[in-house]
Structure 1
């Protein structure tokens, strides 16, 4: 049986597959890859069927491969890669052999990279998925983030159908598009206008649940009525916390929230937003729901 031995593991590194869509009504988030394009590309580059991914966090991952020859794909962001100490281009298709040593480290862009094998990572299917939600201890390896010293077995893969992918719809530096939320009218028109014309900084307070923004222009400094009765939230919602801090909910978001939501980042841009590193500035651009629907469809 093939396996990988993790020798260095950065924070926020987990096992992810397509996730658990359709269970939010039961309080169970979908999870799945933060950057679905990177996840899909890691499989496409191998040109063979691949299983669940190791979603590698911002500081990277080192591992040693044990077993018979096996193909693997790596993509997402722009990381640096060495194989047995020799630099390789990124993204990459690799043919792993016994004792291959892989090192993936931060490069110039991106928070998440994806490592996929022409095999399945041998962790249990829970509610139809191997995805990890470490906040609630669900899925993956014992419901937690991966750590140095972990060993993951790789087993034969059963065909689960075609990979889904979609074309890129915006360039990395373009504004993050959103639709106005159900609480937008709670904010006066000058605040709504400032939200679409001001720059916000990605803070270091980020994880798979949410990304907080530094309100460098004090757009929400005087906002009122920031505590509401809790109701349902979805990934991409832009919540304004009680102290005026904006937070974008991500793939492992909680099912309900009690703060007003001025908008929701559209599906087509949430993956791109997830890859923006702390310290970078972003701007938000409103679009119609019809426009968001036109560019949100995943294609076989």
Structure 2
């Protein structure tokens, strides 16, 4: 089998190469990065016979148009953004055989209202072998803010005319390996209203005693200020003990940490978060629940419960 070759006809809103991130970059002040929804990323790879470390395309809100110059084995997981193969619906969470000359596109959406999907804003496209791209600090992930990694190592979104190539395939036949389905019961309970578990701390003493009762007792909504760096939430104010307690000396930050600045509105740090931060952390979302957070859109609801 030859490598899979794909031409980008239209790039979509924000389509980037992502993998499991670059832990090696933290020492240089780079965020770990990688797929926001790591469950969907890994499931997409599994369906086409890849290791979890292979790069996938993270497709945000509005998908690209891709011309397959060669046959391919693909899978799409995460949010259903209305994928179409030569204008016919493509099943999600399934390994799919693509013939040379076919075009993968996505149903247009109302980006202002999110209309056109039940939930979620990010889909993941895997091809057998994984997408080829330079390794930068042991990762192919795209870090847009620093223009680092991803396509040609240029740290950018897809552009019209880009040529995507897979790593060498291992399968003898793509068609014979199509049809594999990821079990529905093993997928996260995605939705537009989710409850996620968190571990309190490590700065409990910076908050008034009522703060945790409010955090665990009331829903919050995702604001429009939400990107790969962090999701700002809106809801009951989480009061600090004093104005001075709203800041701390810079401390290490992780994916899923919840910072609370002086205005009392929490911020969930996402994959491209800063390596250190100066706001007290009230808790950290369990990694198993981060896929639920990753698929939230502005206006969606999130509740927190204390991890047992």
Identify the TM-score tier after normalising by the shorter chain: 0.7 to 0.9
1:52 partnered with 2:60 = no
State how far apart, in whole Å, the 2-side matches of 1:7 and 1:223 are: 54
For residues 220-251 of structure 1, give each alpha carbon's deviation from its aligned partner in whole angstroms, at most 9, with x where no partner exists: 49973322221211111101123333110011
Unmatched runs of 5 consecutive residues or more in structure 1: 160-165, 289-300
The answer for the alignment partner of 2:255 in structure 1 is 235
State how far apart, in whole Å, the 1-side matches of 2:165 and 2:156 are: 16
Structure 2 vs 1, CA of residues 194 and 70 (structure 1 numbering), >3 Å: closer, same or farther? same
Aligned to 2:166, what secondary structure does the other structure show? strand
State how far apart, in whole Å, the 2-side matches of 1:287 and 1:231 are: 23
Residues 265-284 of structure 1 aligned to structure 2 (within 5 Å): 265-284=285-304
The answer for the alignment partner of 1:196 in structure 2 is 216
Bigger strand fraction = 1
The answer for the alignment partner of 1:117 in structure 2 is 127
State how far apart, in whole Å, the 2-side matches of 1:96 and 1:276 are: 30
Task: Check the 8 A contact 1:74/1:92 in 2, yes or no.
Answer: yes
Residues 129-144 of structure 1 aligned to structure 2 (within 5 Å): 129-141=139-151, 142-144=154-156
The answer for the alignment partner of 1:64 in structure 2 is 67
The answer for the alignment partner of 1:162 in structure 2 is none
TM-score normalised according to structure 2 size: 0.82
For residues 173-203 of structure 1, give each alpha carbon's deviation from its aligned partner in whole angstroms, at most 9, with x where no partner exists: 5411111122122110112211111110011
Task: Check the 8 A contact 2:190/2:295 in 1, yes or no.
Answer: no
1:100 maps to which of 99, 102, 123: 102
The answer for the alignment partner of 2:11 in structure 1 is 9
State how far apart, in whole Å, the 1-side matches of 2:50 and 2:195 are: 34
TM-score normalised according to structure 1 size: 0.84
How much has 1:22 moved relative to structure 2?
A: 4.9
- How many residue pairs match? The answer is 279
Aligned to 1:248, what secondary structure does the other structure show? strand
Aligned to 1:121, what secondary structure does the other structure show? coil
Unmatched runs of 5 consecutive residues or more in structure 2: 108-115, 172-184
238-247 vs 279-288, which deviates more?
238-247
